Amino acid sequence: QVQLAESGGDSVQFGGSLNLSCVVSGIPFGDYCLGWFRMVPGVERELGAIAGISEIGTTSYADSVKGRFTISQDHDKNILWLQMDTLNAEDTATYYCTADLYCNGATAAIPYWGQGTQVAVSS
Q: How far is CA 37 from CA 44, 49, 107, 123, in A?
A: 12, 5, 9, 23
Query: Is the confidence at residue 52, as pLDDT, over 60?
Result: yes
Helix (H) or strand (E) holding 59: strand 59-61
Return mean pLDDT, the chain: 92
Query: Is the confidence at residue 80, as pLDDT, over 90?
Result: yes
pLDDT band at 13 (very low <50, low <70, confident <90, very high): very high
| Distant-in-sequence, close-in-space partners of 118: CB < 8 Å, separation ≥ 6 | 9, 93, 94, 95
Q: List, for residues 82-123, the tens digit of each pLDDT value.
A: 999 999 999 999 999 999 998 888 888 889 999 999 999 998
Long-range contacts of 62-67 (CB under 8 A, 24+ apart): 64/90, 65/91
Residues of the chain by 3-state class (helix, strand, coil), percent to 5 = 5, 45, 45
pLDDT band at 41 (very low <50, low <70, confident <90, very high): confident
Closest CA to 81 of 16, 31, 17, 26: 17
Q: What does the alpha-carbon distance between residue 81 and residue 83 come to, in Å, rounded to a whole number?
A: 6
Sign of CA dihedral 21, 92, 67, 109: positive
pLDDT band at 45 (very low <50, low <70, confident <90, very high): low
Q: Give the model's pLDDT for residue 42.
A: 73
Query: Is the confidence at residue 44, as pLDDT, over 80?
Result: no
